[in-house]
Homo-oligomer: A and B are copies of this chain.
Amino acid sequence: MVGIGLLGLGTVGTGVVEILEERQEELKFLIGEEIKIKKILVKNIDKKREIQLEENIITSDYNEILNCEDISIIVELTGDLDQGYKYIKDALNSGKDVVTANKAVVSKHFEELSSLAAEKDLAFLYEASVGGGIPILKRLKGELILNKITEVQGILNGTCNYILSSMFNKGLDYNEALKIAQDMGYAEADPTADVEGYDTLRKLRILGTLALQGKIDESDILLEGISKITPFDIEQIKSIDFIIKLIGEVKELEDGFIAVVQPTIMKESSYFANVDMAFNSIVFLGNNVGELKFSGLGAGKLPTANAVLADIVDIVEDTYRKGNPLGERKLNNLNEKLKAEYYLRISLPEEQEGKVFKAIKNISKKLLSEKENIAIITNEIEYLEIIKLLSSLEIDKNNYFIARIIK
C-alpha cells in the first residue's frame, strides 16, 4: 500500500479522489499496489464536500501529514504560492516524494526545488502544472536525452483560448466571452492571471527552462495579455483570413534566446489556428525527432487529476526519470531583437488621429482602417521599436492593441 497525503480538496483534489476510486481495481491489478489517500489537508474541516470521505481523513494540521509514516507521497494541490512552496519544501525535507499541479510554485522556485529533490533522491513531479491533461513534461524530459531542443511553443491557457475562440466564432465581445468562460467554470472569478497572460508565462517558464536546459526566468519573458482585444480587432483579423491565439514561445537563436507571450495572428490553416476552445497545445522541435505536437484539454477536474495521478503512478512504479532535469546552460536574453510583422490598432479621439496616423505611416506595410480606429499591419520591425514609438506619441496602454503575425 502506498499512502498519499493530499493537500487541498478543490476541483483537482476532488478529481484525484474520484479517479482513484473509479480505477481502484485496475490500479491494483496493473501496478500491483494499492494507492490510498491517508490524509487530506484542508483549511476548513467543517466545510461540506461534494464527495463522501472516510472518517478522520481530513485535517487542518500539516504536521499530522508530515509525521504520518504511512504517507510516502505528498500531492500538493493548494494553488497557493507561499503555502504551496512551504509545504513542498517541508515534504522533501521530510523524505517524502512530491507531486504538484501548482504552476506558480514550480515557476517561482523551479531551480531550488529541483535540486533539493535531486539531492534528497526524491521525486518532484509537476506534469499537471503545464497543459492540464496533456502529457508533455515527461516526454520533453525523455526527448532531451536524445535531442537538442531548440524551440517550444504553445497555447497554454484554456481560458484565453476559449475567450478568443468565442469572440471569433460567435462574434461576442471580450466581456461577454469572459462572462461565459466564467459561467462554464473555465475562468476564475478574478481572471487576471489568465487573461493578462501570467498563467501562460509561468507554464512557458517551466517548458522553456526544461527545453533549453538553462534558466529562463519569469522576468525573461516578454508579456502581453488579451484583455484589450475588441470586436473591431477580430473583424480586421478575419478580413485578412487570419485567426488570433495567445501563444507562448521560447526559441533558441545563435547566441541566445527569445521568450515571449503575446497575442499572435496566423493563417486559418496553420496548426495552432485549429486548436479550439478549451484545448491547449504544445509543440517542440528536437534535432532528431523533428517537430512533435501535442494537444488536449488544458484544464478541468478530470484531465488535470489524470495528470496528477500519472505522476503518482510513475513514482509507485519507479518509472520516472531520476536526477535533476534542469541544465546549467547560461543563456542570453535576446528579446530586444524580437522582430516580426505586427497587427497594431490604435483608438483615439478624432482630433489626435491625424498626428498619430502620420507617425505610424513609416512602419506601416498595409493599412486596414483609418476611421475611428487606426489599424495597420506593420513592416517587419522590432517589437520594442513599436513600443517606443507608441510611448513617444503618448498613447495610453489602454488605447492600443498589438499582435504578432507568424507565417
- A residues with CB within 8 A of B: 19, 22-23, 26-27, 30-31, 133-135, 139, 142-147, 268-271, 274, 281, 286, 288-297, 300, 302-303, 305-307, 309-310, 313, 317-323
Known contacts A268-B269, A319-B320; decide if A296 and B290 are in contact (CB<8 Å): yes
For this chain, the copies found in one complex come to: 2
B146 touching A292 by the CB < 8 A rule? no
Distance of A129 from chain B, by nearest CB (Å) = 16
If A22-B288, A290-B300 are given as contacts, then 5 extra A-B residue pairs at C-beta distance below 8 Å, sorted by A number, are A146-B306, A146-B310, A291-B296, A291-B297, A294-B294
A133 touching B289 by the CB < 8 A rule? yes
A288 touching B271 by the CB < 8 A rule? no
> Which of the residues B145, B290, B293 comes within 8 Å of A31, measured between beta carbons?
B145
B274 touching A302 by the CB < 8 A rule? no
**Could you pull out 27 A-B pairs where Cβ atoms are within 8 angstroms?**
A26-B145, A27-B145, A31-B145, A133-B289, A133-B292, A134-B292, A135-B142, A135-B143, A139-B139, A142-B310, A145-B313, A146-B309, A147-B306, A271-B274, A288-B306, A289-B303, A289-B306, A290-B297, A290-B300, A290-B302, A290-B303, A292-B294, A293-B293, A293-B294, A293-B295, A294-B294, A319-B319
CA gap between A22 and B296 in the complex, in Å: 33
**Most chain B C-beta atoms within 10 Å of own C-beta, residue among A297, A300, A302, A313:** A302
CA gap between A83 and B95 in the complex, in Å: 50
Distance of A243 from chain B, by nearest CB (Å) = 10
CA gap between A322 and B29 in the complex, in Å: 12
Please indicate the chain B residues that have their CB under 8 angstroms from the CB of A309 in the complex.
Answer: 146
Please indicate the chain B residues that have their CB under 8 angstroms from the CB of A288 in the complex.
Answer: 19, 22, 302-303, 305-306
CA gap between A294 and B293 in the complex, in Å: 6
**Most chain B C-beta atoms within 10 Å of own C-beta, residue among A289, A302, A303:** A289
B291 touching A293 by the CB < 8 A rule? no
A302 touching B319 by the CB < 8 A rule? no
Please indicate the chain B residues that have their CB under 8 angstroms from the CB of A291 in the complex.
Answer: 296-297
Please indicate the chain B residues that have their CB under 8 angstroms from the CB of A270 in the complex.
Answer: 274
Chain B: which residue is nearest A295 at the CB level?
B293
Please indicate the chain B residues that have their CB under 8 angstroms from the CB of A317 in the complex.
Answer: 321-322
Chain B: which residue is nearest A147 at the CB level?
B306
Please indicate the chain B residues that have their CB under 8 angstroms from the CB of A145 in the complex.
Answer: 23, 26-27, 30-31, 313
CA gap between A26 and B147 in the complex, in Å: 9
CA gap between A171 and B306 in the complex, in Å: 44
> Which of the residues B19, B134, B143, B321 comes within 8 Å of A146, measured between beta carbons?
B19
A296 touching B296 by the CB < 8 A rule? no
CA gap between A305 and B23 in the complex, in Å: 35
CA gap between A291 and B294 in the complex, in Å: 11
Please indicate the chain B residues that have their CB under 8 angstroms from the CB of A297 in the complex.
Answer: 289-291
Distance of A228 from chain B, by nearest CB (Å) = 27
Distance of A303 from chain B, by nearest CB (Å) = 5
